[in-house]
A and B are shown apart, each in its own frame.
Chain A
């Protein structure tokens, strides 16, 4: 079926390529698609349909043939009609049980009457049968096989920029690109096919001009998959996605040729006239020997010459129209082809093996019975078009149904968006060129390049689309949707069952929900709905294809992404010390330091006990670190924190809790006053960036005389804690270490300028040491060296979480959630309602008189508790109802008890009350509400000064 060399063919006959399909060996050429190579080899059954497993072949040859999806090694759902043939390919059809030749799924066609429209809804309606159906559907549906061993592809994503983006490389798009570029715009032209030229690979002069133009960049084999605000269009290429930002977009995406609906209209050999032309002109493949052309427009007659030239015998032209213009009739007369006006194909008849069309039955439109059988091995349909308008819809274009061309056309375009060619309702070749020039000029002018040309585009003289290319048949199998095997009667039944609006009908019948997203079915479906409901297509309207409206490979969607990671200056030292890393927001933090031969829990317990009995050092550089200076710095802090800071003495620190305007706790930290007009303060690790942004926003609004500086990354910080901490630090600093608990001092540590804050988060004598980041590692090393004699151990996040829990200190985000108020979190003592104002104050005033929803309490499991202990998020149960949840829990080696924090209903919060907590396996354990801190309740260890 391979033709002699065609002018401009895409194949390279000097490069034969061997490949296999369904186990058989074939040969194609470089430049072939998989489908064209198979068709050239005489293979016309390329796949089976989704539901009834019917034979299917080439329909569009335009990247929309979803019944010709194939498995290529580990890659599922390769589109045979668009995928370039490669040497050594081993392909199989998807959606078969067995082989394509012996597909056990073909028996499903006989059960069609038991698979009515809305089958999924009807099947899953029964709760009892749900599991049965689910198992069955999971076994029978799905396309292709995902190879879980497939390595992840780091498919790049990139940004691109241009003045004018032209989508579509047909005649109108080519001329639009040229016009825009000629006016000075930087133009990007994209086309989903391997070469420019449009549906029939014409316009070679234009293609040459475009490719030679210095201001036009061409992306072929690329589709514009969606439209986002500000003319942002993702361009999906074979190996990457380019996020193209344009200043103007010209949509010249053309139109999808539409099928006629008649019985067995899905047999291989029945294809669009444009598909036949592509096979001939691009791949030099003769699509059939003897064909019937089903026509309803001038495009069909324009294509006839190509068919004849390819040696195809055109048995007849069946035209749905009663009146065929004389110029079109004269084409047939010259070629001696019989013409049947006002006729339709009622039914296609299969060959004996069922794999290809063998004849058609033809009758007058509306006639009760077929009159004529015509033998053929191909049917070329040219009955109409649907605009490729998803980008226009997504851009917010108001569309209207134009009765003159029987399609939706742009009515009102958004600013900077232009349309031309078939998508704009312009189909005549000469007019499409003009329309392209008009749109390209307007787009360039929109970007400030030249002035818009005044070009008048003549209206279409006749409709290129038939308003009703649909023929009913009592035996059905007249398909409207080839993706989902939906027949005319299915839609009629759906409408009869009450799904008589386009959105409902779509979801109930699944029309347009298959891989081609309704490109070939939506228009006919809405025509059926319009006729059944006595509406016009315009009144029925369309559904909107969301981006991405054309399937995008998972390799692209899951391609390279950026997940930034912050590391403190001591990162390498932690790694050398055996740190086991854990993410903490965007940071990497040591969870604990592994010791050979010791379990995780033993390591954590050992680190905690080192702090309790000796000395430990933890990297707290992940805390947010901010500085505020200026005469009104204290006033600013008064407003953003719930406690008071105006009276905080220089050289002292104070715990600080921040609420949002609804009175919910969002952050905490420590505020240190370094001078009257100078504060240094910390935030939570996870809140650092957010709190800085929020404080900057408040400062902009309030216009106070102060400035905030974010030092989070510029300062390293570490907490040296334990009864021997002072001894370790004494030899390294010039600061008098008798300074009191909650005081701050500035001095040097290991010769480096440092800020020292006496803190008690872990409940021992401790100092947070803050130094410029560049010195962080040196200071850490110095402390570790000085601590050797005292048995110092670095400790990680898990040991710190245990130590702070023993002190009853909460962690924002773990022991609070997005609704927690200070009162609920047992932070009433920090709230100073007598201040004139602080963020969240009014909300706290509003709820002050209302019953408290929940209360954070400490609890302890009984001594000697055996068996599993609760975990974080386990529920507190009261009389069978949820009465709270555990937020923190751990085994305390210091107390030899399980201790934890939990939210409980206010009435259950009294010390001594018994809680019931449900474990994952449903069993219940009891715990007692106890006072916190669990450890060193009078805080003597952290406060001691000598």
Chain B
């Protein structure tokens, strides 16, 4: 089994809104609103993430609710992201080789959302854990998607090489 598994979930329904009225508008749609900026909440079959103060991403079947008529101060955001789910024992090493954020220092119980750069590409990341292994969801602009996936899989492949430094007993 590969040390890091990649799952492309780009086809999952997703929608977004932004603007000063976005939080109230979402609440009026009976969707939960993450209280803290850069945090997320689970939805039935999906999630809602608050990106900064006034932007929201809804993924899963509940995304359809965002087709409702807009209120003042609410602007729709067309989401055409490349979306990935990564998990595996070597995921943290992959993140260390591609991103300057210390994901292991995050408190997952606060459901953090990280807006950062990975391999030079702007990404939104939700780190997590599943089955005792680290995992994360990553969204990026779909025009970077092919290159981004190629790059991450390339780095992940190197991590599995016996000669890679991370396989020689040194960890950080």
Which residues of A are in contact with B by a Cβ distance under 8 Å? 154, 156-162, 188, 217, 219, 237-240, 242-245, 560, 562-569, 571, 587, 621, 627, 629-631, 705, 707, 709, 711-715, 772-774
Is B170 a contact of A219 with CB atoms below 8 Å? yes
Q: Per DSSP, are chain B's interface residues mostly helix, strand or loop, or mixed?
A: mixed
Is B120 a contact of A563 with CB atoms below 8 Å? yes
User: How many angstroms between the C-alpha atoms of A563 and B121 in the bound complex?
Assistant: 9
Q: Chain B's nearest CB lies how many Å from the CB of A248?
A: 15
Q: Chain A's nearest CB lies how many Å from the CB of B153?
A: 14
Besides A161-B105, A239-B168, A564-B147, 5 other A-B contacts (C-beta < 8 A): A156-B155, A239-B163, A560-B155, A565-B144, A566-B141
Is A156 a contact of B141 with CB atoms below 8 Å? no
Chain A residues, CB < 8 A from B163:
239
Instruction: Check: B119 CB closer than 8 A to any chain A CB.
Output: yes
Interface string of B159-172 (1 = CB under 8 A from A): 00001110010111
Is B78 a contact of A772 with CB atoms below 8 Å? yes
Q: Chain B's nearest CB lies how many Å from the CB of A225?
A: 16
Q: Tell which of A217, A621, A709 touches B76, judged by Cβ atoms closer than 8 Å.
A: A709
Q: Tell which of B102, B151, B172 touches A562, judged by Cβ atoms closer than 8 Å.
A: B151
Q: Chain B's nearest CB lies how many Å from the CB of A731?
A: 27
Chain B residues, CB < 8 A from A162:
172
Q: Chain B's nearest CB lies how many Å from the CB of A234?
A: 13
Q: List 10 A-B contacts (CB under 8 A).
A: A156-B97, A217-B172, A242-B172, A564-B119, A630-B73, A712-B141, A713-B80, A713-B141, A774-B80, A774-B142
Chain B residues, CB < 8 A from A158:
93, 96-97, 172
Instruction: Check: B104 CB closer than 8 A to any chain A CB.
Output: yes
Is A566 a contact of B144 with CB atoms below 8 Å? yes
Instruction: Check: B148 CB closer than 8 A to any chain A CB.
Output: yes
Chain A residues, CB < 8 A from B76:
709
Is A565 a contact of B147 with CB atoms below 8 Å? yes
With known contacts A219-B172, A563-B120, A564-B120, A157–B143 Cβ distance under 8 A: no
Q: Give 10 nearest A-B pairs by CB, closest first.
A: A713-B141, A160-B172, A562-B120, A707-B75, A161-B102, A714-B80, A773-B80, A566-B143, A713-B143, A565-B147
Q: Chain B's nearest CB lies how many Å from the CB of A643?
A: 24
Chain A residues, CB < 8 A from B170:
219, 237
Q: Chain B's nearest CB lies how many Å from the CB of A195?
A: 14
Chain B residues, CB < 8 A from A629:
75
Chain B residues, CB < 8 A from A773:
80, 142-143
User: How many angstroms between the C-alpha atoms of A621 and B141 in the bound complex?
Assistant: 13
Is A772 a contact of B151 with CB atoms below 8 Å? no
Chain B residues, CB < 8 A from A245:
100, 102
User: How many angstroms between the C-alpha atoms of A755 and B151 in the bound complex?
Assistant: 33
Chain B residue at minimum C-beta to C-beta distance from A567: B146
Is A566 a contact of B147 with CB atoms below 8 Å? yes
Chain A residues, CB < 8 A from B120:
562-564
Chain B residues, CB < 8 A from A562:
98, 119-120, 151
User: How many angstroms between the C-alpha atoms of A627 and B105 in the bound complex?
Assistant: 37
User: How many angstroms between the C-alpha atoms of A564 and B118 in the bound complex?
Assistant: 10
Chain A residues, CB < 8 A from B141:
566, 712-714
Q: Chain B's nearest CB lies how many Å from the CB of A438?
A: 26
Is B18 a contact of A707 with CB atoms below 8 Å? yes
Q: Tell which of A157, A566, A630 touches B97, judged by Cβ atoms closer than 8 Å.
A: A157
User: How many angstroms between the C-alpha atoms of A152 and B93 in the bound complex?
Assistant: 22
Chain A residues, CB < 8 A from B142:
569, 713-714, 773-774
Is B172 a contact of A244 with CB atoms below 8 Å? yes
Instruction: Check: B77 CB closer than 8 A to any chain A CB.
Output: yes
Is A154 a contact of B172 with CB atoms below 8 Å? no
Q: Tell which of B80, B93, B172 touches A188, judged by Cβ atoms closer than 8 Å.
A: B172
Is A568 a contact of B78 with CB atoms below 8 Å? no
Chain A residues, CB < 8 A from B20:
707
Is A772 a contact of B147 with CB atoms below 8 Å? no
Interface string of B65-91 (1 = CB under 8 A from A): 000000011011111100000000000
Is A564 a contact of B80 with CB atoms below 8 Å? no
With known contacts A217-B172, A219-B170, A709-B18, A159–B80 Cβ distance under 8 A: no
Q: Which of B75, B98, B119, B171 neighbours the largest number of chain A CB atoms within 10 Å of its CB?
A: B75
With known contacts A156-B165, A630-B75, A564–B171 Cβ distance under 8 A: no
Instruction: Check: B158 CB closer than 8 A to any chain A CB.
Output: yes
Chain B residues, CB < 8 A from A571:
146
User: How many angstroms between the C-alpha atoms of A161 and B105 in the bound complex?
Assistant: 9
User: How many angstroms between the C-alpha atoms of A237 and B171 in the bound complex?
Assistant: 12
Chain B residues, CB < 8 A from A631:
72
Is A715 a contact of B78 with CB atoms below 8 Å? yes
User: How many angstroms between the C-alpha atoms of A361 and B7 in the bound complex?
Assistant: 76
User: How many angstroms between the C-alpha atoms of A569 and B98 in the bound complex?
Assistant: 25
User: How many angstroms between the C-alpha atoms of A712 and B80 in the bound complex?
Assistant: 10
Chain B residues, CB < 8 A from A709:
18, 75-78
User: How many angstroms between the C-alpha atoms of A219 and B171 in the bound complex?
Assistant: 8
Q: Which B125-152 residues have a C-beta within 8 angstroms of A?
A: 141-144, 146-148, 151
Instruction: Check: B46 CB closer than 8 A to any chain A CB.
Output: no
Instruction: Check: B19 CB closer than 8 A to any chain A CB.
Output: yes
Chain A residue at minimum C-beta to C-beta distance from B77: A709
Instruction: Check: B36 CB closer than 8 A to any chain A CB.
Output: no
Chain A residues, CB < 8 A from B155:
156, 560
User: How many angstroms between the C-alpha atoms of A154 and B100 in the bound complex?
Assistant: 19
User: How many angstroms between the C-alpha atoms of A647 and B19 in the bound complex?
Assistant: 25
Chain B residues, CB < 8 A from A161:
102, 104-105, 172
Chain A residues, CB < 8 A from B146:
567, 571
Q: Chain B's nearest CB lies how many Å from the CB of A663?
A: 31
Instruction: Check: B99 CB closer than 8 A to any chain A CB.
Output: yes
User: How many angstroms between the C-alpha atoms of A240 and B96 in the bound complex?
Assistant: 12
Q: Chain B's nearest CB lies how many Å from the CB of A754?
A: 13
Is A154 a contact of B158 with CB atoms below 8 Å? yes
Chain B residue at minimum C-beta to C-beta distance from A677: B72
Is B144 a contact of A707 with CB atoms below 8 Å? no
With known contacts A156-B158, A240-B165, A714–B79 Cβ distance under 8 A: yes
Is A567 a contact of B143 with CB atoms below 8 Å? yes
Chain B residues, CB < 8 A from A560:
155
Chain B residues, CB < 8 A from A240:
165
Q: Chain B's nearest CB lies how many Å from the CB of A776?
A: 9
Chain B residue at minimum C-beta to C-beta distance from A586: B144
Is B144 a contact of A564 with CB atoms below 8 Å? yes
Chain A residues, CB < 8 A from B72:
631
User: How many angstroms between the C-alpha atoms of A709 and B104 in the bound complex?
Assistant: 32
User: How many angstroms between the C-alpha atoms of A629 and B75 in the bound complex?
Assistant: 7
User: How many angstroms between the C-alpha atoms of A569 and B145 in the bound complex?
Assistant: 10
Q: Chain A's nearest CB lies how many Å from the CB of B85?
A: 19
User: How many angstroms between the C-alpha atoms of A566 and B146 in the bound complex?
Assistant: 8
Is A713 a contact of B158 with CB atoms below 8 Å? no
Interface string of B5-20 (1 = CB under 8 A from A): 0000000000000111
With known contacts A562-B120, A713-B80, A159–B75 Cβ distance under 8 A: no
Chain A residues, CB < 8 A from B93:
158
User: How many angstroms between the C-alpha atoms of A12 and B121 in the bound complex?
Assistant: 47
Chain B residue at minimum C-beta to C-beta distance from A708: B75
Q: Chain A's nearest CB lies how many Å from the CB of B143?
A: 4
Q: Which of A629, A707, A709, A714 neighbours the largest number of chain B CB atoms within 10 Å of its CB?
A: A707
Chain A residue at minimum C-beta to C-beta distance from B172: A160
Q: Tell which of B19, B80, B100, B147 touches A707, judged by Cβ atoms closer than 8 Å.
A: B19
User: How many angstroms between the C-alpha atoms of A569 and B121 in the bound complex?
Assistant: 17
Chain B residues, CB < 8 A from A239:
163-165, 168
With known contacts A156-B164, A160-B172, A161-B102, A564–B121 Cβ distance under 8 A: yes
Chain B residues, CB < 8 A from A587:
143
Q: Tell which of A160, A627, A772 touches B80, judged by Cβ atoms closer than 8 Å.
A: A772
Chain A residue at minimum C-beta to C-beta distance from B121: A564
Q: Tell which of A217, A705, A714, A715 touches B171, judged by Cβ atoms closer than 8 Å.
A: A217
Chain A residue at minimum C-beta to C-beta distance from B10: A774
Is B97 a contact of A568 with CB atoms below 8 Å? no
With known contacts A154-B158, A188-B172, A239-B165, A159–B99 Cβ distance under 8 A: yes
Chain B residues, CB < 8 A from A243:
100
Is A159 a contact of B143 with CB atoms below 8 Å? no
Q: Chain B's nearest CB lies how many Å from the CB of A158?
A: 4
